[in-house]
Structure 1
């Protein structure tokens, strides 16, 4: 019997959700599944919330709250625009700020402030952080399902909210399907309507990090909310000023507030003063050194928290006043200059590894673990194509050679991410591509080539496991993390690349129904349902589900298109 921890956003969300125990795979196409989470004992509310597949918005909130210094953002929280927004019926405020100006940290302060006012449960706060690091958190669909899930879990008007969302759930649960954007908009409107006796605050941060195809339905949502003019609804959106459909947001938002440089610089000074007094990394600096750091960085911040944060990384290791003064004299003028300096500091022998890691971090479909990145460095390409060389693996802890300016390591979750959205923009920029130094410009990242690298790596990795998974397999963390990513995401990258060469390699994985394909299906438990017998899906059904039309055309003459199976009955 196979025991699987059932995860809300897919069959597996990380190593902690993966467990094979006393497995018996009776033949190549059949496996018995048992879920450790018993959905039959789960409340209907929990089932609906799981079906919605929301993101954990509190992860983003806590991440940015940890970056906030007490006393910062008070200029906004005590300002007229914010207090008017809280009180005026049917209000919409667009908070604008340039990249690196501290918008998300300010939004985290806004959410905390609003929640502290909810003493009589007469108001509700729901929020969402778009995230350039995570493909799921960039989607309009996930925005709405996460807001709905938060409102569903509230204690206010729970029955009315439940009934509104249950209708949507009931229309899809038979097929295990997901709602359309139009259905989600209609359901969110209905939920907002039933909450008319409460003040409802919806906070949306990082709209500029939403995927491009999400802006059209988002504008449709804004148009619907504007038309309904719910008096109890207060909507706050934070983003850069220049985004798609900006003209529409200006039309729907009654107030726009631009984060001014002077306000940011004042907050920077508060932040630096606190850091110098409390961060142990600066404990060896004397009072004169700390004052020089505060004064110099505050004067040159130019309304950019991100730039200040990067400079602190290089100042931490300075010993003595002379070293501090030397660094302060040579501070890079802009964020781009800061990132160029970070690339220049990487050893020449690590250039290939650096580019490979940055390509994965820029365009992975889900967060990557340190273990997975230690594994992907071992992929090499030569005249014969992509291959995996175990001898090139590196220990996960060595990934930090990229430095804190470029990457952020969450040691609690073992996740590696680009440090900031501006890092990705810089890596893809013409500014980097045209840099005079070849050592720097060769680290320019190209979106198409990155997706091609990733999908080739995924398929290569899956194809090397040509023995069917059984309970006797012993996995180490690096292998399982890389395998899980490959099995879950290769087809997504393949659709982006849309290359005959890639499709042919994918065809070699799929068409034989061999151990390689069976393993990839077992790893994801494709379309598995709780407490139901599961079978490896027919290859034609799977490729049709993935919309891999080029492979479907190849398989359609080899397999029975009418074969029964899967949630939708057949590949047709």
Structure 2
């Protein structure tokens, strides 16, 4: 190796070490190991600089140069140091993924991993120090000794390096999968299967249709069922069985739980991506198609299209000899925009390219049933044996009078099995209906009244609501809030979010930590209609039919629910903590989200909730920031509703000058009619808010009637129509004339008010003035003699005619 090659090797190492030193200084940690690495790498960096310049000064034919070359041989000291630097770099940047995304660097190394790196740095530092002494004999011997050391310890060092890189690969793999899909269906699977009563669902696994599906290439199994039959649990049982079987084979397994609450997130791309994520997660060696998409899109900040995800999924499936995909609750997948049909089409296209076996559960909706007319079909319904097992498993929750009486337990099981008629959900609701029955007589009376047939679910939900209403007032109100939020929320809520939500108090500017409830208390007041999934920490209604029931009956049990939700969102977003504006860094933003658990939901969904009741919420108009938020999100500034008519009238009536100006600047209609005060300017003028101006409209008559001279001047200055018609007194001049306010009349006449307008209850202005004394009449005649005389004759004729 010539001197230039040695110098080039040193320069390459210098460049890498400079980069790593930058990372070490930027890393988000105060670790002593990190500091020691930074110091030692910096010292060696300086020594290498000196060695580089010494090489450039010398000649190539000296023995010292010959010895120096051995530093740069393959797998020699410089290579060892370079490898240590690369390990540090990859560990801090997750293989470069975080670096590209400009994320915060973190320190993830264990002490034993750093010990090997520091040892390697120290060995090279010693060699460089000897090299700088220009003693080629000493340098040659040192390199020889170092080579022997490395030969002995390389397996140990390499093992540590391999472990670090393995961890880095795992972190990179997780980052890649999270990029392709944020879904977490495996967590949902864990939550569902955890609720399985031992032994239930075996009938499904033993069915010949299932056996055929499991063994027949490209088979499709369709599992329809009535609401509450247990379709989701059957899907979970099938998935659990597949996952257990896969451990013994090489098949791929993926699944999607369709959810009415997540329709906005469950489009074709996201569901295909979720399947792709699970298959690559199970077999990392198949990740290349996803890496290709990441390389193509991540640096540009774009997302792959549905077709690109489909192609990647097809390529991954090609690496599996067999794959099973389970889709639960297809009926809850959005249909009106074509999502359901397109998703099914993509899955069938995948079946044509390989051995993909598809299982789908759904309500027996005609258009879905038609899609599976050629598939294996197995109806899902709760077997009597399963219902008995379920009820037996719930006895521990029931009152003592049942727990200590075996005969009564048997009666409970028999009556509930008889009543549910294949509906697992009804078994749960009927069991919950016994929770407050404290004597055998109460239990038996309740069992005798258990509803059956098509109306049974509604009856059960109605009974549950009656139990909720029968609680203490505070618990009843809490239950109403919880049920309203879960029913109307745009996405599933976590337990942390719901506890934070219920702590928000109207009119407050911050959250009081002493007002936060325990999730157990919130669940307990909802009479079994609400459950918590422990793995995902999601709080939800017990079933889709519960959602449908509450949506149908919302006008009865909580007609103001949407307004309450919108107001809660707006109140929260108006908290003092958020007035500082957006966060300066990603770290600050993450910390804010951690502190403010309701912020993510409120910020993303407040506008949707508000649009449903924008009339009521806009009418509040009490906070400028809220109004800005509403307007920025296309709220209807002229929406008519309620006592005050619209937002502009409400703000005018309340005297909010800044809000009125904001509304007017956003095209609020100053002449909009409606509400008690007819329009906004009317409202502002009648209350005497001189700081609130108008631009046109019959507010002048109200100001004139009320004697608010400053408001009239402001309105006229802003081009208000002095002769605008409308309202009880028709126009401003007539209203002023009624009051006998000479100054007001003069002001209006000076601004070209038409004295001859003949409208309204009192005719024209002179007739109105005539009713309230001749002084004003005379003044007006003096100022407008010609017109007044003509009008006087007309008035006298009319008076004579009236007398006759």
Deviations along 1:36-66, one digit per CA (max 9) or x if unpaired, are 5989876543222010233222222122212
Residue 396 (structure 2) pairs with residue 271 (structure 1): no
When residues 280 and 302 of structure 1 are mapped into structure 2, their CA distance, relative to the original with a 3 A threshold, is: closer
Q: Residue 404 and residue 130 in structure 1: after superposition, are their counterparts in 2 closer, same or farther (change >3 A)?
A: farther
Q: Which residue of 1 aligns with 2:294?
A: 169
- For 2:611 and 2:28, the matched residues in 1 are separated by 32
1:330 aligns with 2:445: no
Contact 2:268 2:342 in 1 (8 A): no
CA distance in 2, matches of 1:274, 1:258: 25
Q: Specify which of 201, 211, 228 is matched with residue 100 of structure 1.
A: 228
1:75 corresponds to: 203
Pick from 258, 262, 276: which aligns with 2:379? Answer: 258
- 1:152 is aligned to 2:280: yes
Structure 1's 486 and 120: CA in aligned 2 closer, same or farther, altered over 3 A?
same
> Any residues of structure 2 matched to 1:41-190 within 5 Å, and which?
43-134=171-262, 138-155=266-283, 158-159=284-285, 161-190=286-315
Q: Bigger shift: 134-143 or 63-72?
A: 134-143
- 1:222-275 superposed Cα distances (whole Å, 9 cap, x missing partner): 3344355245110001111117x4266225x52222224xx5333212323444
Higher alpha-carbon Rg: 2
Say if 2:412 is the partner of 1:293.
Answer: yes
Deviation at 1:105?
Answer: 1.0
Confirm or deny: 8 A CA contact 2:398 2:434 kept in the other structure.
no
CA distance in 2, matches of 1:414, 1:45: 25
| Residue 180 to residue 48, structure 1, CA distance change in 2 (3 Å) | same
**Map of 1:239 onto structure 2:** 362
- Trace 1:445-460 onto structure 2 (pairs within 5 A): 450=562, 453-460=564-571
User: Is residue 369–residue 481 contact of structure 1 (8 Å, CA) maintained in 2?
Assistant: no
Q: Secondary structure at the match of 1:117?
A: helix
Of 455, 465, 482, which aligns to 1:343?
Answer: 465
Relative to 1, partners in 2 of residues 1:201 and 1:281: Cα closer, same or farther, differing over 3 Å? farther
Residue 540 of structure 1 corresponds to which residue in structure 2?
none
User: 1:164: how far off?
Assistant: 1.9
**In the superposition, relative to structure 1, how do residues 226 and 145 fare at CA in structure 2: closer, same or farther (>3 Å)?**
closer
Whether 1:508 and 2:660 are equivalent positions in the alignment is: no
Match of 1:376 among 486, 495, 501: 501
The answer for unaligned runs of 5 or more in structure 2 is 1-25, 30-101, 109-166, 633-662, 668-804
For the pair 1:34 / 2:104, whether they are aligned, the reply is: yes
Q: Distance in 2 between matches of 1:37 and 1:177?
A: 29
Q: 1:3–1:318: structure 2 CA closer, same or farther, 3 Å change rule? A: farther
| Residue 421 (structure 1) aligns with | 544
- CA contact 1:93–1:254 (8 Å) conserved in 2: yes
Residues 225 and 305 (structure 1 numbering): CA distance in 2 closer, same or farther, change over 3 Å?
closer
Contact persistence 1:90–1:230 (CA under 8 A): no
Whose strand proportion is higher, 1 or 2? 1
Using the TM superposition, give the Cα deviation of residue 321 of structure 1 relative to its aligned residue in structure 2, in angstroms: 2.6
Change in CA separation of 1:362 and 1:216 when aligned onto 2, cut-off 3 Å: same
Q: Which residue is equivalent to 1:220?
A: 342
SS at match of 2:104: strand
Distance in 1, Cα, partners of 2:594 & 2:297: 37
Match of 2:558 in 1: 443
Match status 1:202 vs 2:336: no
Call closer, same or farther: CA 1:223–1:35 in 2, change over 3 Å.
same
**Counterpart-to-counterpart distance in 2, 1:476 and 1:352:** 30
Does residue 1:487 correspond to 2:603, yes or no?
yes
Determine which structure has the larger helix proportion and give its number.
Answer: 2
- Summarize deviations over 1:414-470 as a string: whole Å, max 9, x none: 5432222111110012xx368xxxxxx23368xxx73x6544432332223255379
3-state SS in 2 of match to 1:229 = helix
1:365 is matched with: 490
Query: 5+ residue gaps in structure 1?
Result: 5-31, 435-440, 513-550, 556-572
Q: C-alpha separation between the residues in 2 aligned to 1:224 and 1:211?
A: 15
Q: Whole-Å Cα distance in 1 between the matches of residues 419 and 318 of structure 2?
A: 48
Range with bigger deviation, 202-211 or 37-46: 37-46
> Which whole-Å CA distance do the structure 1 matches of 2:169 and 2:206 have between them?
47
State the alpha-carbon separation in 2 of the partners of residues 476 and 284 from structure 1. 49
For 1:165 and 1:389, the matched residues in 2 are separated by: 44
Secondary structure of the structure 2 residue equivalent to 1:76:
helix
* Residue of structure 1 aligned with 2:432, choices 302, 310, 313: 313
Q: Verify the 8 A CA contact 1:374 1:478 in the aligned structure 2.
A: no
Q: Distance in 1 between matches of 2:371 and 2:169?
A: 44
Matched residues, number:
461
Deviation per CA, 1:46-97, whole angstroms, max 9, x where unpaired? Answer: 2220102332222221222122223322222111111111122211111111
Note if contact 1:375-1:478 (Cα within 8 Å) is conserved in structure 2. Answer: no
TM-score between both structures, scaled by the size of structure 2: 0.50
Bigger mean CA deviation after superposition, 322-331 or 395-404: 395-404
Q: 2:318 aligns with which of 181, 193, 206?
A: 193
Following superposition, the deviation at residue 331 of structure 1 comes to 2.4
Q: What displacement does 1:338 show? A: 1.1
Cα deviations across residues 501-523 of structure 1 (Å, max 9, x unaligned)? 599966625999xxxxxxxxxxx
TM-score scaled to structure 1, two decimals?
A: 0.69
- List per-residue Cα deviations over 1:352-385 (Å, max 9, x = no partner): 554443332123234334454344346678xxxx
Q: What is the match of residue 406 of structure 1?
A: 529
Q: 1:258 to 1:388 in 2, by over 3 A?
A: farther
Q: 1:401 to 1:286 in 2, by over 3 A?
A: closer
- Could you say if the C-alpha distance between residues 404 and 137 of structure 1 is closer, same or farther in structure 2, counting changes exceeding 3 Å? farther
Aligned-pair CA distance for 1:202: 0.6
SS at match of 1:481: coil
Contact 1:129–1:204, Cα closer than 8 Å, also in 2: yes
